Structure 1
Amino acid sequence: MEAKIGRFFDSVGSFFSGGDSIPWCDRDVIAGCEKEVAEAASEEQKNESLMRLSWALVHSRQSDDVNRGLGMLEASLGNSSSPLQMREKLYLLAVGYYRNGDYPRSRQVLERCLEIAPDWRQAISLKKAVEDKIAKDGLIGIGIATTAVGLLVGGIAAAVARKK
């Protein structure tokens, strides 16, 4: 019985916290990536360092970092020389949009990513998390709207009852 109660509270907690499996990145890692970009000796090393920095930024807990990572990735999309690079950049964009709460845009970018690599588990997993967030937000919105309508109807009923 206790195990069932524990699972119930875990599921309720993950519903409200949005427990996803996307890793977080701290400022130390970002600073290390920025240093790596500054010290890159060749254009190839710089591009690889910029990808690592972009990864770190979109996985940050700070929205300013996430926005900076999104800007870097959007600017570099046209420079993708291979489908693998494009897939990686699209996935990181989707992570950034997910972190910013722009779930529809994240889903749209993930669909582009999955066109390149239809069976990529990481993208499939993120797409499921995005769709779960969209569904949860819809349920919460419906709940709020239903409560508001209930309060309005209750208020009207109380006003009519007082007039009698």
Structure 2
Amino acid sequence: MEAKINQFFGPIVTFINGGDQLPWCSPDIVVGCEKEVADATTGASDEGKNESIMRLSWALVHSKQPQDVQRGIAMLQASLANSSSPLQQREKLYLLAVGFYRSGEYSRSRELTDQCLEIAPDWRQALSLKKAIEDRITKDGVIGIGITLITIGLIAGGIVASLVRRK
């Protein structure tokens, strides 16, 4: 019986929750990256510091904790102006897009993904993220339409019920 229920409701749950392929990051990895950044600020070269900050930014925007995602977005926005190469800019834009995607700001995420694709039109990660964003926007629209139709149905049902009671 449970298998039949899962067979019926499984696709519905997957549809509602979304099925993006972006990795998640554990709190342990975030803590490890924070320690690495702290160690790099004491004796590493600027390049070493920047690499450890990028790893921390990656971990933060891939975290399941919303406050971590917001920290990652803030770090990336602050460092975006300091990008010395198109490759660095592309990476930071992509991570920002992931952060905005994780925080539910899909239109901002799509804008940043499009900027990534201007730099590297065939970059598979950005193309995959763009598809996930578009799928999510479509799903949210379908869910919104469904909620609207249910609301209209309930209101119409209430009106019909009140009319039937009057007669």
Query: 1:69 aligned to 2:66?
Result: no
Question: 2 CA distance for matches of 1:52 and 1:149?
Answer: 48
For 2:130, give the aligned amino acid: K
Normalising to structure 1: TM-score of the pair? 0.91
- Aligned-residue offset at 1:163: 2.3
Question: 2 CA distance for matches of 1:28 and 1:161?
Answer: 61
Query: 1:86 aligned to 2:99?
Result: no
**SS of the residue aligned with 1:119?**
coil
What is the aligned length? 160
Give RMSD over aligned pairs.
Answer: 1.8
1:88-138 deviation digits (Å, cap 9, x = unpaired): 001001111111111111111111111111110100001101110100000
Identity %: 65
- Show the counterpart of 2:3: none
> Structure 1 stretches of 5 or more lacking a match?
1-5
Query: 1:160 aligned to 2:163?
Result: yes
Question: 1 CA distance for matches of 2:64 and 2:132?
Answer: 18
For 2:16, give the aligned amino acid: F
Question: 2 CA distance for matches of 1:122 and 1:36?
Answer: 26
- Aligned-residue offset at 1:7: 8.0
Normalising to structure 2: TM-score of the pair? 0.89
Quick one: higher RCO (CA 8 Å, sep 6+), 1 or 2? Answer: 2
Question: 1 CA distance for matches of 2:36 and 2:99?
Answer: 21
Query: 1:136 aligned to 2:135?
Result: no
- Aligned-residue offset at 1:8: 7.1
- Show the counterpart of 1:44: 47
User: Runs of 4 or more off by more than 4 Å in structure 1?
Assistant: 6-10
Stretch of structure 1 that moved more, 14-23 or 138-147: 14-23
Question: 2 CA distance for matches of 1:10 and 1:124?
Answer: 27
1:38-77 deviation digits (Å, cap 9, x = unpaired): 1111111111110010000001111111100000001111
